[in-house]
Structure 1
Amino acid sequence: MGCGIYVIGGMIDPMTTSSGVSFLDCRTHTWSQLPSMRFARREAKAGVLDGKIYVMGGCVGADWGNDNPEVFDPKTQTWSSVCIPDPPVMNKE
C-alpha cells in the first residue's frame, strides 16, 4: 500500500459521522484528501487484500450499525460496494 497511512471515516461531532478519507505520505510528510467513502461511518474495521482497502461495519450517527461494506482501489481512486455472504450460524454442539 505504499509508504503511507490512511485515515478512514470517524466523527465530526457526537451525532455526525464522516465518510472522509485522508492519506499521510510518510516520505514527504504531507496529507492529501482522497475520495470519500460511499457511506459515512465511525469505528469501522479496515483490511488490505490484493492492494485494495476493504472497510466494513462501524456505526452511523450515535449508535446505528452500518452494514454496507465497501472497497477502495488506490490505483483508480474509486470506492465500490462489496457483496459479502452472511456468516454461518454457529451451533453450541
Structure 2
Amino acid sequence: MAVLEEEFPGLRADPYAAETVSDAIRKHALKPGDWLEVIVDAPAVANWRVKADRDHPGRVRLACYRLPDLITADDEAREQRINDALLRIP
C-alpha cells in the first residue's frame, strides 16, 4: 500500500478507501484467479486502477484508464514507475 499511497494521497487521507484497496489486493494474492479491479484515484474520475497482473499471478499492476488520446508521457512514466515498484515487493 505504501507504493500506492505515495502516488495517490487520497488513499492515505481516506482510511476506508485504503482498507478497501488493501483488502482487494490481499484477497487477490490469496486467490489469484479471481477478477480484480480497484479505483485508486477519485471515483468520479477513475483514471487509475489496480488490476490483476496477468503476467504475474497473484500480483497486481496499476493501469491508466484515460482515453488513449489523453494519456500523457507523465501518465506512462507514472504507470511504469509504480508497476516496477510493485514487482519489487517480495
What TM-score, normalized to structure 1?
0.28
Greater Rg by CA: 1
Which structure has the highest strand share of the two?
1
Which structure has the highest helix share of the two?
2
What TM-score, normalized to structure 2?
0.28
